[in-house]
């Protein structure tokens, strides 16, 4: 059983695991390096489902200062895994990939009409006009936005592109990066569309988990599901006592929280550069936010460090900046 990269906890096959955090905290990079670790220890191939980037440029681009993350990880782990990249930018694309073909239907919202005005004795035309404008403005403020519906056209999960991928390739590690992006698009128009978001999220995660479970049983091997997710900050929540519990809350509503059984939160440290505070938000038999790690991202990837290591890295980086200024 493979452990999470530089962490104590083991990965669990066939369930949804994930990371969350603000942008540029290293969620995708961590998931990428973790894939190389899985392949080194258990073999197989990687399936990367991207909802934001159409190509793997983040990991393959080479510049003068860095040889590219995939090249770094190939050397670090001594493997060169086959990575299948699939771009799924919309909710319709995501659902189609698991075998649920459908269309997002936009239904027009009912127009909120101003309430009829009562006659006021002695009212001037100007006063009447002002009341009419106020009534119209009040109606516009109450106006609900468009409502979206997901109309299913065909459901055949067993012959879906995902099922075909699992049947034809030795997929051992799947990443959904970033999980909520296509579903968040469904909430345009207001809270009345939270229902369609929950509906499609649940269908996707349930089907993904079910197909992976069947594939794992068929191969008698582990298949891991890793997701990355953004966060929603709720500093006014009166029911959480610690700030970390307000800062690291994954986006996507109840369905994301329900299906993501293992979750880590990534938070930047101010110094040194590359330092990350990683919180174990959710793991079986551990209290929520009950454990944290210090990791450092260097040109070699992630490394678990102590407080002493962080202090040393901080001083080293300070000296390098001063040397650069002197030049």
Q: 313 or 15: which carries more pLDDT confidence?
A: 15
Q: Higher-confidence residue: 120 or 51?
A: 51
Q: Which fold has domain 16-107+155-326?
A: Rossmann fold (3.40.50)
What is the model's pLDDT at position 238? 46
Predicted model pTM:
0.83
| Distance, CA of 305 to CA of 283 (rounded, Å) | 22
pLDDT tens digits, one per residue of 130-160: 888 888 887 766 666 667 777 778 889 999 9
Residue 109: pLDDT band with limits 50, 70, 90: low
Mean model confidence pLDDT for the chain:
87
Coil, strand or helix at 15: coil
- Reference 277, options 28, 73, 26; nearest CA is 26
Where is pLDDT greater, at 9 or 252? Answer: 9
CB 23 within 8 A of CB 61: no
- Is the pLDDT at 264 greater than 90? The verdict is yes
Exposure letters 84-104 (e unless 16+ CB within 10 A, then b): eeeebeebbebbbbbbbebeb
pLDDT reported for residue 142: 65
The pLDDT of residue 270: 83
* Residue 263: per-residue pLDDT: 95
The per-residue pLDDT for range 190-243, each reduced to its tens digit, is 666 777 778 888 899 999 999 999 999 998 999 999 999 988 755 455 444 455
In sequence order, which residues have a C-beta less than 8 Å from that of residue 120 and are 6 or more positions away?
127, 128
Task: Choose the weakest-confidence range: 31-40, 170-179, 237-246, 276-285.
Answer: 237-246
pLDDT score of 321 more than 80: no
Q: What is the pLDDT of residues 31-77, one digit of tens each?
A: 999 999 999 999 999 999 999 999 999 999 999 999 999 999 999 99
């Amino acid at each position: 059983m493979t452990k999470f990269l530089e962490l104590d906890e083991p990965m669990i096959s066939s369930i949804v695991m994930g990371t969350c955090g603000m942008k540029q905290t290293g969620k995708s990079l961590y998931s990428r390096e973790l894939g190389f670790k899985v392949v080194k220890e258990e073999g197989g191939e990687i399936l990367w489902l991207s909802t934001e980037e159409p190509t793997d440029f983040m990991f393959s681009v080479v510049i003068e200062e860095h040889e590219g993350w995939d090249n770094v990880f190939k050397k670090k782990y001594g493997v060169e895994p086959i990575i299948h990249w699939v771009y799924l930018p919309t909710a319709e694309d995501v659902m189609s990939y698991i075998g649920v073909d459908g269309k997002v239907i936009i239904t027009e919202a009912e127009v909120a009409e101003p309430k009829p005005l009562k006659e006021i004795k002695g009212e001037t035309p100007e006063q009447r006009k002002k009341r009419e404008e106020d009534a119209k403005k009040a109606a516009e403020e109450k106006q609900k936005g468009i409502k979206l519906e997901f109309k299913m056209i065909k459901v055949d999960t067993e012959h879906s592109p995902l099922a075909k991928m699992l049947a034809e390739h030795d997929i051992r590690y799947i990443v959904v990066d970033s999980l909520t992006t296509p579903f968040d698009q469904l909430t345009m128009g207001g809270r009345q569309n939270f229902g369609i978001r929950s509906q499609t999220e649940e269908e996707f995660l349930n089907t993904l988990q079910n197909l992976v479970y069947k594939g794992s049983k068929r191969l008698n091997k582990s298949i891991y599901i890793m997701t990355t997710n953004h966060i929603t900050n709720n500093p006014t929540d009166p029911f959480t006592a610690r700030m970390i519990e307000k800062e690291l809350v994954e986006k996507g509503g109840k369905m994301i929280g329900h299906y993501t059984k293992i979750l880590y939160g990534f938070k930047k440290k101010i110094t040194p550069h590359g330092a990350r505070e990683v919180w174990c938000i959710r793991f079986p038999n551990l209290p929520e936010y009950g454990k944290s790690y210090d990791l450092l991202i260097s040109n070699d990837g992630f490394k678990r460090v102590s407080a002493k290591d962080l202090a040393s890295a901080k001083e080293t980086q300070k000296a390098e900046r001063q040397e650069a200024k002197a030049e």
